[in-house]
Amino acid sequence: MNFDFPLILVLATFITGALWGLDALLLAPRRRQRAAALPEPERERVLKEPVLVEYARAFFPVILIVLLLRSFLAEPFRIPSGSMMPTLLVGDFILVNKFAYGIRLPVLNTKIIEVGEPQRGDVVVFRYPEDPSVDYIKRVVGVPGDRVAYRDKILYINGKPMPQEVIGTYVGSGAGIASTGASHRIEDLMGVRHEILVRPGVPGVEGETVVPPGHYFMMGDNRDNSRDSRYFGPVPEQNLVGKAFMIWMNWDATAKRITWRRIGETIH
């Protein structure tokens, strides 16, 4: 089951704020009026806030701050699969810049302020076009108007092959051990150098398409183990969540350990 966490935060903020505000504006003055003519012990009992209001007053600012930070500044995500290996590993906890591609209202996802646009090479979290309740993370390889092709493990942008440099055979560990044996390469995506994994001889989805206006072509760095725009097509701009920029923790559930060296790494 997928929980709509932004909606839960908005509702929690509204409910706690409404309870606190209702008490402050209506109920508290009535309590003070009743208590004015009472002796001291009875007065304290009448003036005491209801438990529900006390909790609402305590939690409202905390929930509001979390909502604002998560909606407009940065949001944490956990990497559940190996589709972005070796850039991102299973168990990485990352931070996503929520204002890199425009400021949007929570829940409604309506853009209210233009800030920037995705560039080739950006690692982006987006809502899966076939099920917007699910978040995906991939790399932008094609922007609006690009002619993107993928043939024989080579990515082509507007007819030009993106150079690849083989740096060895990948050796995975923990949850990523299944990728051991893949060809470990560095791809130069029009000046953005990043690592990829491919498996020569393993058939994959090939083809060519022109990225329509307001859409972006996404691919995983683990090219033969990624469900991306080769399967579901270019991603609409309104599905973008933000740009991944940092790993703040890694927990390898298979090895049952924290990978300390990954903490604080930037994502590029």
Q: How far apart are CA 185 and CA 105, in angstroms?
A: 39
Contact 201, 145 (CB under 8 A): no
Taking Cα atoms as reference points, which of 68, 71, 89, 72 lies closest to residue 80? 89
Cβ contacts of residue 98 below 8 Å, gap of 6+? Answer: 70, 71, 72, 73, 74, 75, 104, 241, 242
Judge contact between 71 and 113, C-beta under 8 A.
no
- Which among 98, 138, 153, 243 is annotated as catalytic? 138
C-alpha–C-alpha distance, residues 145 and 107, integer Å: 29
Place of tokens 């691919």: 219
Choose, from 48, 71, 81, 83, the residue flagged as catalytic: 83
Q: What residue type is 84 in one-letter code?
A: M
- Would you give the end-to-end CA distance of the chain in angstroms? 31
CA distance 175 to 137: 18
Q: Nearest CA to 204 among 240, 152, 255? A: 152
Residue 148, CA distances (Å) to 65, 141, 161, 211 in order: 41, 8, 10, 7
Residue 109 identity (one-letter amino acid): N
Residue 133 known to be catalytic: no
Q: How far apart are CA 153 and CA 158, in angstroms?
A: 16
179 is catalytic: no
Positions marked catalytic:
83, 138
